[in-house]
A and B are shown apart, each in its own frame.
Chain A
Amino acid sequence: MAEEMEIGCARPTGGPVGEAVDEQVANETKPIREVAPMIQVGKKAPDFAAPAYQQGKFVSVKLSEYLGKWVLLCFYPGDFTFV
């Protein structure tokens, strides 16, 4: 039976349930490359490109296109939450 969920500020997500996958197997299949956070004040922001919605249009935005301007980059848990 589906249970009613309490909805908070984060987007509800699911995931695998049941017995955990054997760790050794999981480690073997894991890619070695790990992305380490690289943000430091006074240092360059890592460039990125991302799809976006702006004023009725779907666009592609690249951070480096904003060089010469001040940028406020805001992350938030999900649409239909407060910001």
Chain B
Amino acid sequence: MSIDSVFVHKMWNDKELSKMVEGGVPFPMLSDAGGRVGKVFGVFDEDAGVEARGRFIIDPEGVVQGYEVLTPPVGRNVNETIRQVQAFQLVRESKGKEATPSGWRPGKATLRPGPELVGKVWKEWKTEMAFD
């Protein structure tokens, strides 16, 4: 979503993005002229008249599980976004019984929060697990 019109979205997709992604962008490219949606999400910069690089993960209930907002010059880490979605999906599938500690990625150990885990995280999780 950006403040550009759907016509500009079409030109960007057809003239440039389709050269990077076969078949072009598969998902809807949303237009927010005037930044009204961006204002509600807290990413619209009134002075510049544009939206910051905001990214919101919204679950099947419509609940915001996480977000990240960056100023324009720095791009996002798509891998990290996908990792977070995978982590939230795992937590949801376990009905909240499992949690993903720092550094978790698919295949790595999860934690089962509860009275037995209190004071015992050091046995289950080592500092080096925070890093790839």
Query: Which A residues are within 8 Å of any B CB, using their own CB?
Result: 8-11, 13, 35, 37-48, 50-55, 58-59, 61, 63-64, 66-83
Contacts and interface: CB of A to CB of B under 8 A. Distances in A.
The list of the 8 closest CB pairs from A to B, nearest first, reads A37-B42, A52-B28, A79-B12, A53-B9, A71-B58, A9-B72, A75-B54, A75-B51
Contacts of A8: 72-73
B73 to A, nearest CB: 5
Interface residues of B, number: 59
B117 to A, nearest CB: 22
Given A39-B67, A75-B41, A70 B59 contact: yes
Interface in B71-104: 72-73, 75-76, 81, 85, 88-89
A54 B39 contact: no
Given A58-B6, A72-B55, A38 B1 contact: no
A45 B4 CA distance: 22
B64 A44 contact: yes
- Dominant SS among interface residues on chain A: loop
Interface string B29-50: 1111000111111110000111
Contacts, number: 165
B22 to A, nearest CB: 13
Contacts of B60: 67-70
Contact of A44 (B1, B6, B63): B63
Given A46-B40, A50-B1, A74-B54, A81 B48 contact: no
30 contacts: A11-B3, A11-B49, A35-B40, A37-B39, A39-B42, A39-B64, A41-B66, A41-B67, A45-B62, A46-B40, A50-B30, A52-B31, A53-B28, A54-B25, A54-B28, A55-B24, A58-B10, A63-B58, A68-B60, A70-B60, A70-B89, A73-B55, A74-B54, A75-B54, A75-B55, A76-B2, A76-B51, A83-B53, A83-B75, A83-B76
